Amino acid sequence: PRDTVDVVIVGSGGAGFSAAVSAHDNGAKVILIEKEPVIGGNAKLAAGGMNAAWIDQQKAKDIKDSPELMYKDTMKGGRDLNDPALVEILTSHSKGSVDWMTQMGADLNDVGRMGGASVNRSHRPTGGAGVGAHVVQVLYDNAVKRNIDLRMNTRGIEVLKTDDGKVKGILVKGMYKGYYWVKADAVVLATGGFAKNNDRVASLDPKLKGFISTNQPGAVGDGLDVAENAGGALKDMQYIQAHPTLSVKGGVMVTEAVRGNGAILVNREGKRFVNEITTRDKASAAILGQTGKSAFLIFDDSVRKSLSKIDKYIGLGVAPSADSLVKLGEMEGIDGKALTETVARYNSLVTSGKDSDFERPNLPRALNEGNYYAIEVTPGVHHTMGGVMIDTKAEVVNAKKQVIPGLYGAGEVTGGVHGANRLGGNAISDIITFGRLAGEEAAKYSKKN
Ligand code: ADP
């Protein structure tokens, strides 16, 4: 081997960095490898928030939440196909994970609403700006502070095992160094999902053939093959999530928080057609059912002011505005008269406090301040729920649920946490909690071996 360490982490997203920092803090010598020239994976792109219950920021705002309620919401969102033991970890550790990140310097003080959640539990930086970029930056800074050996342009190719089936290292390919192997007692796979690999996506769910994707280029699923070749079983591969709101003009994902903070969805006919904060699968299907297979997020300046991320969309030119709904309709090809009636009707529902049209559970504010905005959106492939099977110690298991000694998995590369459908805000929670757990378990395991 070229190097000898205790733990090798594969992938530099939120799960990989969490695992690296936690393995290090549990006494392990660590190498973190990343096949792309940039760190952060998809985690860096996450815009919504980090779900957690029940933490001080919520208490301060008198939001009544609990790990039990988060558990219930997560199972319901995943159509009860989630692995209950993993959801139990996700929800009971969520507070500890926010505290851990906060101790490392993260600002997760803003609390917002995401689809499928009974209460506001999505924690994000003050002002609501991109949680993923922030979390990755904090983890990266902490990895640097600890002198963790981070190797870019280095792909994990094959997990190497002893004759009796224990992990003994990993074969990697560096862009300049070529192939070499690193000796290690434990390997943590944190390689993310495969949403960017449309051939693989469409082979599992033909309805998604040709869909655009929100993911970064590395999200093609080669880590799943590494896991499978090492004996790991894959599960739930057919469950692939389309994010309901990708901007048609710019291809950027428009965070669910825009709806959570009050935007409505209308079709070209100027009418609402769905509870805007339903789960992602239902919202996607509803949008694809409209004329032109797209819809418009409509909001005003009060919503814009409530979420700084919206200024980014405006800056990107994907959220045109006008001082009247009729003008906005003319610009965007929406029936302006119907749109005016729809917004008036919606505002009256906000006043009454109950959405008797579509049963939307939160009605944060009327849409009647300043300019109006429209973002045309369509669903794109966003997250792959399936992946390698793990147990409650983040150990990778085979089809018979037997542990592969020394092999761990965390984050989107794993299957089971989210069942058939992931709730917004649960990805960041998942990668921090399970990344941290995998790092800790891998470090402990390497000490024993
Ligand atoms: P998660 O959200 O689970 O942390 P991300 O998508 O954020 O997942 O990060 C996964 C990272 O792993 C990406 O940066 C991706 O480029 C990297 N990666 C994927 N496959 C490999 C591999 N075989 N070797 C090294 N890095 C990989």
Q: How far, in Å, from the CA of 231 to the mean position of ligand 1? A: 20
Q: Is 430 in the pocket of ligand 1 (CB under 6 A)?
A: no
Q: What is the pLDDT of residue 268?
A: 98
Residues marked active site are found at 280
Q: How far, in Å, from the CA of 320 to the mean position of ligand 1? A: 35
* Long-range Cβ contacts of 342-345 (<8 Å, 24+ apart): 342/264, 342/266, 342/270, 342/271, 342/272, 343/264, 343/298, 343/367, 343/368, 343/372
Q: Is 270 in the pocket of ligand 1 (CB under 6 A)?
A: no
How far, in whole angstroms, is CA 245 from its chain's centroid? 14
pLDDT digit string (tens) for 16-35? 999 999 999 999 999 999 99
The mean pLDDT value of the chain amounts to 95
pTM score > 0.95 for this model?
no
Q: Find which of 57-61, 110-114, 430-434 is predicted with most confidence, using mean pLDDT.
A: 430-434
Greater confidence (282 vs 105) lies with: 105
pLDDT digit string (tens) for 92-110? 999 999 999 999 999 999 9
Q: How far, in Å, from the CA of 14 to the mean position of ligand 1? A: 9
Q: Give the whole-number percent of the chain exceeding pLDDT 90.
A: 85
pLDDT digit string (tens) for 386-444? 999 999 999 999 999 999 999 999 999 999 999 999 998 999 999 999 999 999 999 99
Bridging pattern class, strands 7-10 and 30-33: parallel
Encoding tokens for residue 352? 């009454």
Q: What is the pLDDT of residue 264?
A: 98
pLDDT digit string (tens) for 152-174? 999 999 999 999 999 999 999 99
Q: Is 415 in the pocket of ligand 1 (CB under 6 A)?
A: no
- Ligand 1: which of 9, 12, 189 to mutate, judged by most atoms within 8 Å of the beta carbon? 12
Given its phi and psi angles, is residue 122 left (phi above 0), alpha (psi -120 to 50 degrees) or beta? beta
pLDDT digit string (tens) for 223-260? 999 999 999 999 999 999 888 898 888 767 899 999 99
- Ligand 1: which of 191, 418, 431 to mutate, judged by most atoms within 8 Å of the beta carbon? 191
Q: Is 43 in the pocket of ligand 1 (CB under 6 A)?
A: yes
Q: Is 218 in the pocket of ligand 1 (CB under 6 A)?
A: yes
**Does an H or E element contain 4, and which?**
strand 3-4
Q: Which atom of ligand 1 is nearest to the CA of 192?
A: 8
Q: Is 276 in the pocket of ligand 1 (CB under 6 A)?
A: no
